[in-house]
Structure 1
């Protein structure tokens, strides 16, 4: 995943005010911010199980821990870049970092899951501001093309390193100190970043800045928020309930209104003429599908490692390294060889590798250990690293130089939307599969040769807990009179949760496979 902004020919597109006095310090300052942002995107997965236990959160509450942060990033990213062009990128960087730092403190102090998710949403606003202006700040600080290329390479390496380090750092903090510290660690770093920006970063603006598309931003939010809420709460409310149908209809109406507005707006946040170009649409689709399948699925895998297999958060972070390191190793050579690898082949092949990696992660059962996921994680991570690089770089080949910022912004927005929708949708798949398996197991529960009849109230509690990803922690809900059934219930919990994760991996693999075919077809059409 990568941040973006209006990355245009900065030497022509910014005012003389943008001539940086301290380009290296600017790069360091921006990289500190981006390292913190990317770390925060992946560090949370290691803390979800402890957040669930500490705040008594349901699976939907945990889904919002991820989506409440990612949704504002998706909705505001393009607008933030435009605001930076108009108001000043340094100014927005400082504002975004201040918001992010203060809300990090608020997240750590949250006493319940609702408060945490509300503060996470505000944190996402700060993150969107930082994402929107970070790359343009670097580009403006290095007007020389060669120096700029090296600086952007360092910027990309820092982001990739933070993404890889997130699960491990998060696991270490949660295990050693507590989940609150995945947020508290941002506070001193944020203070340093604000001080550096205030002292060393030179202000830059675009000469031809356009007004922010606030109507488009609002309509995109209207399209995303009700749809995500329906996906997250659909199992609990009922997919045919009036609330879910109304939310789905509102989401569709919001999407149609967004499209209609963007087609007529003088300065749209997203020029839909880009999206209807088949080759460009293929890149956006690949970014969306990669994030919405493999990236989203890792959150459920982390819950499984901790709550079901019994690993502590640090151990779970270590077990996530095959995926993150694979992506980190593959991305740099793909970036170097990009011009020699035709995107019409490299992009669908990379997406296919993601689908194959996810498929290798299927087949789990009650006896499965974490080693079952190594091969699929390595293969899927390699595909994801390639897709991330190819989609971002190829997007620029289909647009004019002065629209490069919108192109990279659109691809990165697609990636964030993929995470939002993927976490919500796969959560529904997980809960349904676990509940189905748990209900079947409870109905046939035996101890030795005796059938155990679990009262409906206890059965519902167990099923709900398992559907929320509680895994082996479900034993906490077993009354004393069923102590003899604990081993059988433990086996049931492990099997039901494995079935839920298997459904997540199978669904993700199928979606990634369909996306592979669609990307291939779109790129073929784009060549005509």
Structure 2
């Protein structure tokens, strides 16, 4: 029986209220950074950019969102995602040059990557709530400005400490961009089909930015040194700021979530302390008072968060979600899979340049099979999830990640190029197949009314995983490496690759356990 649509006569009366939209059970986004099944906050009617009556704002929005204008708005939002995605891979290619010129050890290189990703993980949900309350265009512009400013300052950093601080500034800006941009997209493309196509373009841009990152990074490092990798964001950011001011309407949530400063502070302490303890443990000693104190601070912040959040009427993190096995499992899968990705990029760039002696551009070209295969397999994973469910793609993803990392643990200084290409391409299969089933598990594991908060939590899980992957693998590298980077890297990296293989195996096991009928029943029992 065909469902009635708006305006259809049903039993002599007109159904005037719009029917709820059906969201696809999954949508292929090449990296989970930012799940694109639903926006991480309610989607309101457009309001005036600079005040005015709500009715006039709506009329202006309708007049300002013709086909060409909507395409322009989508392009502006995709520019922000392109910058954030590019930064996930472009910086890794410059790590060896940063280490040489700024006299940074392994821990310094870890912080160069983790300072950005851990800031994203800690602030994503807070930034989404801030955009709801203040206005999405306003927060989007602030995020663009901070990210562009941070990129410019990174290119001028006189030392490692300054570079890490400016990477944090980039992370603050990046945490504002994606929640606000998704709100702008979903507020502009109101029809289900239009929104699905727009989100598909959004996902494709992220995959493109990931694929181009190593190559673009190699070009900039070869032409202008490591500082050049941060210049790539500046013209894109300035163009996006100008276009946003001219063409993007503002919007707010009619009933924005209340701010949770206590919960946000506890999340920052928990993630920051844990990351510091893992990265600095090898140099200070794992049982030193300083490292023990940071581990204790992280554990205490977690305990306080678990005690505090259930008492709030509008918690930043609704812990009831984790009663759903599919939801809890999908978040663990996201952490493990992105930890493998972060560790892969970290180890691969150091190996290719410091052991094989490749230039930055050659290293970028050598890594290219991974993101290219990832971008090609992600749409296939989405189709499989839609027809057969998430289990098969998760098993394939976990198996591919495990086998690839196990193969890379056997690398030598003169490994055959075909061996590298096959191993990197196999990792790309795992990275591409993981995103859609994880998103499906998140969205199907909680009531649809809670989809926004759930997707925001999943985004944070993905950024957390990437941070932990770099922190853990780098710490193992620092603890076991003897002598120079070139002489001691191969032996020390073997343990790191096996840790990443374990992350892949965890994805495989979770994919089997968390997709059973009994597991799905735990999600059905949730109610709000």
> Take 1:431 and 1:334, find their aligned partners in 2: how far apart are those partners?
36
Does 1:500 pair with 2:500? no
Contact 1:42 1:166 in 2 (8 A): yes
> Take 1:165 and 1:366, find their aligned partners in 2: how far apart are those partners?
26
Query: 1:279 maps to what in 2?
Result: 326
Query: 2:407 maps to what in 1?
Result: 360
Q: Given the superposition, is the C-alpha separation of residues 515 and 230 from structure 1 closer, same or farther in structure 2, using an over 3 Å criterion?
A: same
SS at match of 2:348: helix
Query: 1:449 maps to what in 2?
Result: none
Query: 2:315 maps to what in 1?
Result: 268
> Take 1:161 and 1:500, find their aligned partners in 2: how far apart are those partners?
32
Query: 1:127 maps to what in 2?
Result: 174
Query: 1:7 maps to what in 2?
Result: 39
Q: Select the residue among 422, 433, 437 that pairs with 1:386.
A: 433
TM-score by length of 1: 0.86
> Take 1:90 and 1:69, find their aligned partners in 2: how far apart are those partners?
23
Q: Select the residue among 338, 345, 349 that pairs with 1:298.
A: 345
How far did residue 242 of structure 1 move?
1.2
Bigger mean CA deviation after superposition, 513-522 or 74-83: 513-522
Query: 1:476 maps to what in 2?
Result: none
Q: CA RMSD in A?
A: 1.9
Contact 1:433 1:500 in 2 (8 A): yes
Query: 2:279 maps to what in 1?
Result: 232
Contact 1:94 1:197 in 2 (8 A): yes
1:323-472 pair list within 5 angstroms: 323-435=370-482, 463=483, 466=484, 470-471=485-486
Unaligned runs of 5+ in 1: 436-462, 472-492
> Take 1:402 and 1:25, find their aligned partners in 2: how far apart are those partners?
30
Q: Select the residue among 212, 217, 237 that pairs with 1:170.
A: 217
> Take 1:503 and 1:343, find their aligned partners in 2: how far apart are those partners?
30
Unaligned runs of 5+ in 2: 1-30, 48-53, 522-528
Q: Select the residue among 24, 47, 57 that pairs with 2:104.
A: 57
Q: Select the residue among 482, 502, 513 that pairs with 1:510.
A: 502
Query: 1:526 maps to what in 2?
Result: 519
Query: 2:258 maps to what in 1?
Result: 211
Contact 2:107 2:478 in 1 (8 A): no
Contact 1:365 1:499 in 2 (8 A): no
Bigger mean CA deviation after superposition, 179-188 or 8-17: 8-17
Query: 2:21 maps to what in 1?
Result: none
Q: Given the superposition, is the C-alpha separation of residues 9 and 415 from structure 1 closer, same or farther in structure 2, using an over 3 Å criterion?
A: closer
Does 1:140 pair with 2:187? yes
What is the CA deviation profile of residues 338-365 of structure 1, one whole-angstrom value per residue up to 9, with x for unaligned ones? 2102123432332232222211212123
How far did residue 287 of structure 1 move?
1.1
Query: 1:32 maps to what in 2?
Result: 79
> Take 2:242 and 2:138, find their aligned partners in 1: how far apart are those partners?
12
Q: Given the superposition, is the C-alpha separation of residues 299 and 198 from structure 1 closer, same or farther in structure 2, using an over 3 Å criterion?
A: same
How far did residue 12 of structure 1 move?
5.9
> Take 2:323 and 2:46, find their aligned partners in 1: how far apart are those partners?
29
Contact 1:396 1:408 in 2 (8 A): yes
Contact 1:355 1:512 in 2 (8 A): yes
How far did residue 337 of structure 1 move?
3.4
Contact 1:64 1:117 in 2 (8 A): yes
> Take 1:40 and 1:511, find their aligned partners in 2: how far apart are those partners?
23
SS at match of 2:481: helix
> Take 2:392 and 2:310, find their aligned partners in 1: how far apart are those partners?
31
> Take 2:251 and 2:478, find their aligned partners in 1: how far apart are those partners?
48
Aligned pairs, number: 473
